[in-house]
Amino acid sequence: MTASLAQPAADFAKGLAGVIAGQTRICSLDGTLRYRGYDIDALAAAGDFEEVAYLLLHGELPTRAELAAFCDRVSAAASTVDATVIDALARLAATSPHASVMDALRTGVSMLGLIERDDTPGPRAALLDQAERLLGQTPAILAAWIDLTSGRSPQPWPAGSIATSLLERLTGRVPSPEHVALFGTTLVLYAEHEFNASTFAARTVASTGSDMHSCVTAAIGALKGPLHGGANEKVLEVLGEIGSADRADAWVHEQFAAKRVVMGFGHRVYKDGDVRAKLLGTMCRDMVRGTAGEKIEELADRVERMMLEKKSLKPNLDWPAARVYHALGLPVKTFTPIFVVARMSGWTAHVIEQISDNRIIRPLSIYTGPPARDYVPVASRG
């Protein structure tokens, strides 16, 4: 006998669009983007990632002494990643050299949780300590994986800020101060963005009482997707596929005709353009003026105009960030992992905030499957 299930009349928001799922003191997207009340324009112009990471984690801008001590702790963590993790990554690099760098990073960060025996959320000071170590360990694991899959043994972590050291490690060259400043600005812009998918994933895991490493491992998995962090790598593929500005119009038409999503455009929250994209787009154009990179800017500009004209869609941060990373000589496969390095600051701040005032995150759903039916034992199913 089959009983029918009454369908609830309740409405729902697909993708939680427009749903306010909680409160935060970390970031606001109200007209402009602010981290803990500070306008993104000012923070991006200063371009000091460690200063911003400190602000996100501790709630206030650091004094010079606080910043110096913070940088020392993060740098020490980068220089002392547990050898067990590096050894395990070396074995994985030997068997899976073409694995996604995001998979390697997620695995490395997850291993840290096991080795550091992170199995309960500790007091605030312990969580801050874990967050600071993750800020240093994550770029070091990324650089080690790139070495290991390029036939080198992992090189030592160079002295300096994360922007300086990571740029040096990933390009193999000592970067110019201008390049460090621009790279630092991208890290600042990627650092935090309220209740985006990966941060919400981290907060959801935190809400269950789980540990810091489990939260950020889940967040890395969420960031990997092309509709979220994975978009910055796809942007460069798109630019390569179009090839030149004179092909842009036809290419955009083709995408719309095939109902394909154009990577680097659109945003769930910013409907009048992503403030971060405007900031970084200008910096990118300034950076490549007079170089071969101008051709890519011409092409990007043409695509932007077409997207606006045909669909009223504006670029998001991934659109200029991909071009900046390419101009800095960074390998495409490291673009999304660099986003991880930056967003680690926002994720860990949110995990600490969630734990400080927790209620388990557990929404409801509307059932749309078959009506209630009787179980038939396998022996009677034919």
Ligand X SMILES: CC(C)(COP(=O)(O)OP(=O)(O)OC[C@H]1O[C@@H](n2cnc3c(N)ncnc32)[C@H](O)[C@@H]1OP(=O)(O)O)[C@@H](O)C(=O)NCCC(=O)NCCS
Q: Which residues are catalytic?
A: 267, 318
Nearer to ligand X, 71 or 202 (CB): 202
Total count of residues recorded for the chain: 382
Q: Please, what is the minimum distance in Å from the beta carbon of residue 263 to ligand X?
A: 5
Type of residue numbered 40: I
Scanning the structure block, which residue is given the tokens 């923070």? 43
Interface with ligand X, residue 264, by CB under 6 A: yes
Interface with ligand X, residue 343, by CB under 6 A: no
Using CB under 6 A, count the residues that bind ligand X.
16
Binding segment for ligand X (CB under 6 A), chosen from 136-144, 257-265, 320-328, 354-362, is 257-265
Q: Find out whether 336 and 190 touch, Cβ atoms under 8 Å.
A: no
Interface with ligand X, residue 349, by CB under 6 A: no
Q: Mapped to the 3 state alphabet, what secondary structure does 160-225 carry? A: CCHHHHHHHHHHCCCCCHHHHHHHHHHHHHHCCCCCCHHHHHHHHHHHCCCCHHHHHHHHHHHHHC
Interface with ligand X, residue 19, by CB under 6 A: no
Binding segment for ligand X (CB under 6 A), chosen from 204-212, 226-234, 284-292, 346-354, is 226-234
Interface with ligand X, residue 15, by CB under 6 A: yes
Q: Mapped to the 3 state alphabet, what secondary structure does 36-56 carry? A: CCEEHHHHHHHCCHHHHHHHH
Nearer to ligand X, 74 or 324 (CB): 324
Interface with ligand X, residue 313, by CB under 6 A: yes
Binding segment for ligand X (CB under 6 A), chosen from 124-132, 216-224, 287-295, 313-321, is 313-321
Q: Find out whether 349 and 131 touch, Cβ atoms under 8 Å.
A: yes
Interface with ligand X, residue 231, by CB under 6 A: yes
Burial of 312 (0-12, 13-18, 19+ CB in 10 A): exposed
Interface with ligand X, residue 312, by CB under 6 A: no
Nearer to ligand X, 84 or 312 (CB): 312
Beta bridge partners of 27: 35
Question: DSSP state, 120?
Answer: S
Interface with ligand X, residue 284, by CB under 6 A: no
Binding segment for ligand X (CB under 6 A), chosen from 95-103, 149-157, 310-318, 336-344, is 310-318
| Of the candidates 22, 21, 26, 20, the residue with the CA atom closest to the CA atom of residue 352 | 26
Those residues whose C-beta lies under 8 Å from the C-beta of residue 350, and which sit 6 or more positions away, are 24, 26, 199, 202, 203, 206
Interface with ligand X, residue 227, by CB under 6 A: yes
Interface with ligand X, residue 278, by CB under 6 A: no
Q: Please, what is the minimum distance in Å from the beta carbon of residue 321 to ligand X?
A: 10
Q: Find out whether 115 and 82 touch, Cβ atoms under 8 Å.
A: yes
Taking CB atoms, the residue at the shortest distance from ligand X is 266
Interface with ligand X, residue 281, by CB under 6 A: no
Distance CA 136, CA 162 (A): 8
Interacting residues with ligand X (CB under 6 A) = 15, 227-228, 231, 261-268, 311, 313, 316, 318
